[in-house]
Structure formats: structure tokens, C-alpha cells
Homo-oligomer: A and B are copies of this chain.
Amino acid sequence: MNVNFINPFLASLLNVLETMANMKLTPGKPNLKQDNIAKGDVSGLIGMVGPQTKGSLSITFEAPLILEIMHKMLGEKPQNINEEITDLVGELTNMVTGGAKKLLGEKGYNFEMATPVVVSGKAHTIAHKSDGQKIVMPFSSEFGNAYIEICFER
């Protein structure tokens, strides 16, 4: 995994949430994922296919955090993960990946995005199955944690 691949995704999530929801997350240290420790309640996943590489991205939110993001963006706060929330997670997944795609395209790394899929289920785990290294980027906030995981094939 080229380290140049990490920062565009990290910067894109921070930018999207600050712009859309006036929400500041604190990024932790990106690390190589050794096991499936990033547990969350709702995740957006998207596939990426390019001439040099292919891979997958997931963004996982703990429920209180995504509910607060919805509250800040739309003024309403559902009690649990409903279809509005999964729609929002799908949109955020598209926006974050699209922002990183633009930044990486400027560096000569190009890929196309598939369409996002959103998984709901209490404390589910995600395993990216490709030959490449898995990078997990943790984010924290007073409302809960989020994780981006990316994996590109060598």
C-alpha cells in the first residue's frame, strides 16, 4: 500500500463532515489492520477499479455518531438506524471516495467507483479480502468513533 493513498481518504472524510455537518472529527494514527477490530453499527462500502489497481473502501460509524451527523445536517435525529440513515451513509461513502478519487487523480492514480452498499447491524465487523495491505484510519469525536478502511491490491 502506497502511503500516498492514505491521506486523500483521511482528508476527504474530515472535509466532507466539516462542510456538510459542521462536525469535526479527530483523526487517530492510521495503522495496518491486523484483525477485524473495527466494530460499528452502520458501514458504507464501495469498490474501486482502475488500470493500475483495484480495491475496496469501508466507512464504519458507531450509531450515536451517525445519528448526530444526521441531526447536524438535517435538524432531525432518528432514534435508530433507519433508511434515512443508510441513505446518508451511502451518500457520505460516495462523497468521501469521490473526494479522494479527485485528489489521487491529480497524482496520476486513477480509478472508477462502483456503487455503494450500506450494511446495518449491531457491532458488525468487516474484512477486506484482497492481497494488499489493509489500512485502518480511526476517527474519534465526543459522539462516538468512525473508521475508514481501505485495501488496494498490489
A: residues with CB less than 8 A from B are 35-36, 43-49, 54-56, 58, 83, 86-87, 90-91, 93-94, 112-130, 132, 151, 153
The oligomer's copy count stands at: 2
- Chain B residue with minimal CB distance to A153? B115
- A-B pairs with lowest CB-CB distance, top 10: A47-B47, A47-B114, A121-B124, A90-B129, A115-B130, A121-B121, A49-B49, A49-B112, A118-B127, A116-B129
Contact A151 B54 (CB under 8 A): no
Contact B45 A127 (CB under 8 A): no
A123 → chain B closest CB, angstroms: 6
| Residues of chain B with a CB closer than 8 A to A55's CB | 114-115
4 other A-B residue contacts (CB within 8 Å) besides A36-B83, A49-B49: A47-B113, A47-B115, A54-B113, A119-B119
Assembled-state Cα–Cα distance A127/B114 (Å) = 14
Interface pairs (15), CB distance under 8 Å: A43-B119, A47-B56, A55-B114, A90-B129, A115-B130, A117-B126, A117-B128, A118-B129, A119-B119, A119-B124, A119-B125, A119-B126, A120-B127, A121-B124, A124-B124
